[in-house]
């Protein structure tokens, strides 16, 4: 029983390691497009998901909706600023993981051909 559990745990760790490597390889493509684009995309995604979510929760709690009210604009501003902070934080975190993986040589350094433009 213990040997089977150890094998299962080993397989799960291998799967996690492979997933991490795939994500780090994908990060290489994301980072090639630039930090500003990543932060903007993260900000817009977070803002556009949170506004309707908070409106729906308000509807469930209060039973009424107030579109385009002052509260809506305040929430939109707060979500936008939070999205910017999340974007920069995520960028920094992934860059650190990526550099650590390169340092440990878990992922190969991409070969960049300057004569050919980047294609996603």
* Structural tokens at position 46: 């977070």
pLDDT at 49: 95
Give the pTM. 0.70
pLDDT at residue 16, as a whole number: 73
Query: What was the pLDDT predicted at 114?
Result: 47
Question: Two tokens at 43?
Answer: 């900000």
Contact 108, 25 (CB under 8 A): no
Tell me which residue of 16, 18, 26 sits closest to 106, measured CA to CA.
18
pLDDT band at 63; cut points 50, 70, 90: confident
Does the pLDDT value for residue 62 go beyond 80? yes
């Amino acid at each position: 029983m213990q040997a089977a559990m150890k094998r299962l745990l080993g397989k799960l760790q291998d799967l996690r390691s492979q997933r991490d490597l795939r994500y780090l390889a994908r990060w290489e493509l994301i980072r090639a497009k630039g930090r500003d684009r990543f932060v903007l995309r993260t900000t817009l995604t977070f803002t556009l998901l949170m506004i309707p979510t908070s409106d729906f929760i308000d509807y469930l709690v209060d039973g009424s909706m107030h579109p385009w009210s002052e509260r809506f604009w305040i929430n939109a501003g707060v979500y936008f600023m939070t999205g910017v902070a999340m974007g920069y934080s995520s960028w920094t975190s992934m860059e650190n993981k990526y550099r650590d993986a390169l340092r440990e040589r878990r992922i190969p350094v991409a070969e960049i051909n300057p004569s050919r433009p980047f294609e996603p």
